[in-house]
């Protein structure tokens, strides 16, 4: 008979901000302001993908940096997005990536990425609040583009 030592995995998310002090994400302008701060100087340097994790009342629970990429592309692992949303018990997420060029027109790759994330989140009842492409000065919400995919 073998004696195996099975480690216990703890799935814990500690909220850094108390519920009554969380920022309400009422609209994309608020998301953009938070994301600009989260991206910092990288917003004009290289592409990154961040997600805002929200509770059922659209209050910000936290920010997760999904990926850091190159000058004009970033790769992402869908499982990391889903993991962050599930571990934080988020009801909604805001998915954002930047275009260092400042051109906010979504590429076909951007649309495929958004559709893939949308489809996966739909299966596990995570709602997409917004899909944003951001630059230093402005943002574009891709939600309407997804209606045509």
**Window from 16-20, 47-51, 55-59, 114-118 with minimum mean pLDDT:** 16-20
Q: Is 65 helix (H, G, I), strand (E, B) or coil?
A: strand
* Phi, psi torsion values for 23, nearest 5 degrees: -80, 130
What pLDDT score was predicted for residue 40?
Answer: 93
d(CA 52, CA 8) in angstroms, rounded, equals 29
Judge: domain 26-135, CATH 3.20.20.70: no
Q: What is the mean pLDDT of the chain?
A: 88
Q: Which residues have a Cβ under 8 Å from the Cβ of 127 and sit 6 or more positions away? A: 91, 92, 93, 121
Query: What is the spatial distance between Cα 54 and Cα 44, in angstroms, rounded to a whole number?
Result: 26
Tell me: the pLDDT tens digits for 11-36?
556 666 778 888 999 999 999 999 99
Domain spans of the chain?
Answer: 26-135
């Amino acid at each position: 008979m073998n004696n195996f030592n099975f480690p216990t995995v703890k799935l814990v998310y500690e909220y850094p901000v108390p519920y009554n002090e969380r920022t309400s994400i009422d609209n994309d302008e608020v998301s953009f302001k938070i994301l600009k701060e989260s991206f910092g100087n990288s917003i004009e340097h290289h592409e990154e993908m961040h997600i805002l994790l929200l509770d059922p009342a659209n209050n910000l629970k936290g920010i997760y940096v999904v990926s850091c990429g190159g000058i004009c592309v970033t790769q992402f692992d869908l499982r990391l997005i889903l993991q962050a949303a599930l571990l934080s018990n988020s009801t909604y997420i805001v998915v954002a990536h930047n275009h260092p060029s400042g051109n906010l027109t979504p590429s076909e790759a951007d649309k495929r990425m958004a559709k893939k994330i949308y489809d996966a989140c739909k299966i596990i009842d995570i709602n997409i609040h917004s899909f944003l492409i951001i630059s230093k000065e402005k943002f574009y919400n891709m939600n309407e583009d997804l209606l045509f995919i």
